[in-house]
Amino acid sequence: MAPLTNPTQGKSCTNPRPMSSGAILIVDDDNDVRAALSELLQEEGYSVEAAPNGREALARLRTGSIHPAVILLDLMMPGMDGWDFRSEQMRDPRIASVPVVVVSASGFSYESIRTQFRPAAYVEKPIEKDVLLGAIRAVVRSSPRSGPPGQLDATDRAGDPQDD
């Protein structure tokens, strides 16, 4: 798959209606990536949680200490990688419905990721700000109005002119 391109690169992309509930869980072993994504998303009005690997993310999800609306998931991590995390997540009915955006420079084909992960979206590293924010907004817009804990309701859909 060719790298994603961004025709508006360098331009500010702000979230006109920040989320009022739900968090974005960043699961990435790279401290710098977690910090940069956290800063970007917080500047856009999102609440952010982070975990350095799949094992910690699963533990926090299963104990109910976090209820994310979206999970940003890297594939290549030590300990429990993104592949194992997603497999475990899909087997657990309490957290299976939390949408996942794969954010990775894994080198795997988009088709492989799509069929094995069934992600809500896929964003390649290096991450382009507008591509990532667009993917998150698309996931937020497609989330049901009333769903499991962590799902965003219609009032939280940034940029969505339609009400359900």
CB neighbour class for 30 (10 Å; exposed up to 12, middle 13-18, buried from 19):
middle
Does a structural domain hold residue 127? yes
Q: Which residues contact 33 (CB under 8 A, 6 or more apart)?
A: 26, 74, 125
Higher pLDDT, 34 or 141: 34
Q: What is the pLDDT of residues 145-163, one digit of tens each?
A: 333 333 333 223 233 333 3
User: Residue 47 pLDDT more than 80?
Assistant: yes
How far is the C-alpha of 157 from the C-alpha of 159, rounded, in Å?
6
CATH number at residue 46: 3.40.50.2300
How many CB atoms sit inside 10 A of residue 45's CB? Answer: 15
Whole-angstrom distance, CA of residue 22 vs CA of residue 48: 9
Domain enclosing residue 126, as ranges: 23-154
User: pLDDT exceeding 90 applies to what percent of the chain?
Assistant: 58
Average pLDDT over residues 101-120: 85
DSSP H helix total and E strand total for the chain: 5, 5
Domain count, the chain: 1
pLDDT at 107: 76
